[in-house]
Structure 1
Amino acid sequence: MVRMNVLADALKSINNAEKRGKRQVLLRPCSKVIVRFLTVMMKHGYIGEFEIIDDHRAGKIVVNLTGRLNKCGVISPRFDLQLKDLEKWQNNLLPSRQFGYIVLTTSAGIMDHEEARRKHTGGKILGFFF
């Protein structure tokens, strides 16, 4: 089968491994978007370190899980998000104001919604995690 959405597959694998209580999960193929999404998750402490394995094909990523992640998912299609609509999306996607992040792809790179608000930039929604 052809993979239609590589990011969705990766996040679903992380979700399933986290639910089963695994310590590590192997993601393949590797892409820049997945690596940046994982970097945002790691920055906030939802996953541990991850290692990119170059197998001279599409690549693999081994992610260490911490048990802190409840859910992560992708938003498809990638809706445009203006700064003024951010509050509405937060209420729809995240369980509360205190925790959880929406990941956006902006002209300034892939970042979470709080950083986008600080940089005063909108973009397209990639996904969320909490």
Structure 2
Amino acid sequence: MARDIVADFLSHLTNVRRKGEDKTAFFPVSNLIIKLVEIMKREGYIKNYRLVDSSRGKIIEIELSEYFNEANAIKPRFPVEYSELEKYEKRYLPALNFGRLILSTSKGLITNREAKEQKIGGVLIAYVY
């Protein structure tokens, strides 16, 4: 059975928040995880992060922001057209303009807000709020 590293990572962050902690480390790290973290930092859900080399590979150390509540992977990975974004926002986000969907597009990983501005669709990867 294949491992879903995105789901593992986002569940890890949610569990850390539920324990009342702000700092954590995660292993293994892929380019997809790094891009997710960069988006979450840009959107204000992560205060800071750094990559650390270890003998087993890279480890990412993360400090969560007070604005981070929950994050989860979306499975199955739905292909979404630009016109359908609002439907999925209502399904996965708790309120209007609260939280972000993260999509994989031909232009890389972007948020639902950026997808609306650029009028492009993609494949739903995760949500965070």
Bigger mean CA offset, 108-117 vs 59-68: 59-68
Q: TM-score, normalised by structure 1?
A: 0.93
Match of 2:92 in 1: 93
Structure 1: gaps (5+ residues): none
CA distance in 2: counterparts of 1:3 and 1:29, whole angstroms: 14
Quote how far apart the aligned CAs of 1:65 are: 1.4
Match of 1:42 in 2: 41
Runs of 4+ off more than 4 Å = none
Alignment: residue pair count: 129
Counterpart secondary structure, 2:49: strand
Match of 1:54 in 2: 53
AA in 2 matched with 1:97:
L
Q: TM-score, normalised by structure 2?
A: 0.94
Could you tell me whether the CA contact under 8 Å between 1:21 and 1:67 is conserved in 2? no
Structure 2: gaps (5+ residues): none
Please provide the CA RMSD for this pair. Answer: 1.4
AA in 2 matched with 1:62:
E
Quote how far apart the aligned CAs of 1:56 are: 5.0
